[in-house]
Copies of this chain bind each other. A is one copy, B any other.
Amino acid sequence: MSILVVGSVAYDAIQTPFGKVDRCLGGSATYFSVAASFFSAVSIVAVIGEDFSAEDLSVFSGRKINLDGLQRVAGAKTFFWSGEYGFDLNVAKTRDTQLNVFADFKPRLSEEQRNTDVLFLANIQPELQMDVLRQTNRPRLVALDTMNLWIDIKRDALEAVFREVDLIIINEAEVRQFMREPNLVKAARQILALGPATLVVKRGEYGVLMVTRDAVFAAPAYPLENVFDPTGAGDTFAGGFLGYLSSRRELHDREFRRAIVFGSVLASFTVEKFSLDRLREISIADVQERYQDFRALTHFEDYEV
């Protein structure tokens, strides 16, 4: 199945306790598409400025990534984000955000893009997510990501999009914040009651909890000795998750669980280096090997009396 991602292609400045980089490739659509392309063809709808380099553009080369929807604006600069992490790598502190070309981003989908099977609305303002969704011819699966900022200042618009999508990928704290409910399971069920069939709760170094009407599935994060930079982990997870799902014929619980693990596998690589440096190095064989490591990490047998 075809995947379309609408999000950012960006430059980041990042400081972690383990190093710093003043300008590196980033953006939700970037991480998402590279991760998804391990399993499925993916099309990007995003915008970049004149400053976006050919070398950075090469991250998409040799992969099943369609760039017809990647618009370049002359005389303007690419979206820029600067963030910092302390030893608690679960929490990013934003130091600077320069929207640049992203300020006027108003995606217009082509006829082919409107017919996508799977749509991922990366974290952009909810009205824009709704606008993109309305342009499509009802994809088979629509997923979105969001952030605390939109819950703070655009909760109603966000709830309107929640009601229209199949799957929400969201941080644990945001689930609680959105429903003003401290119990995660209760809050998750309340969001499902709005319409989505599946809620995928990201818990940083603690992994992922997937909640549906019928089941809950918990996957740990891969316990790494070297977590270098968590930037992009969430979008990488979403890319691996939806990329794997799109490669399957049937979208059953069994495949959703495998997809959660593949998403977690991809994300575990992303955090090992700055930017997409680690993602660019690995092959599908590395991904499959770490999938087996996840099996070993979580497996336990039925008990014997």
Contact = CB atoms under 8 A, between A and B. Distances in A.
A195 interface: no
Interface stretch (A3-11, A26-34, A132-140, A215-223): A215-223
A300 B261 contact: yes
Main secondary structure of the interface of A (DSSP, over half): mixed
Contacts of A215: 296
Interface residues of A, number: 43
Contacts of A288: 303
Interface string A176-187: 000000111110
Contacts of A207: 206, 218, 220
Contact of A223 (B205, B218, B260): B218
Interface stretch (A45-53, A69-77, A146-154, A224-232): A224-232
Interface string A273-305: 000000000000000100110011111111100
Contact of A257 (B186, B260, B301): B301
Given A182-B87, A186-B225, A223-B184, A303 B218 contact: no
Interface in A206-257: 206-207, 209, 211, 215-220, 223-227, 254, 257
Q: Which 9 A-B pairs have the closest CB atoms?
A: A218-B220, A257-B300, A87-B182, A206-B206, A185-B225, A185-B223, A186-B225, A216-B223, A218-B297
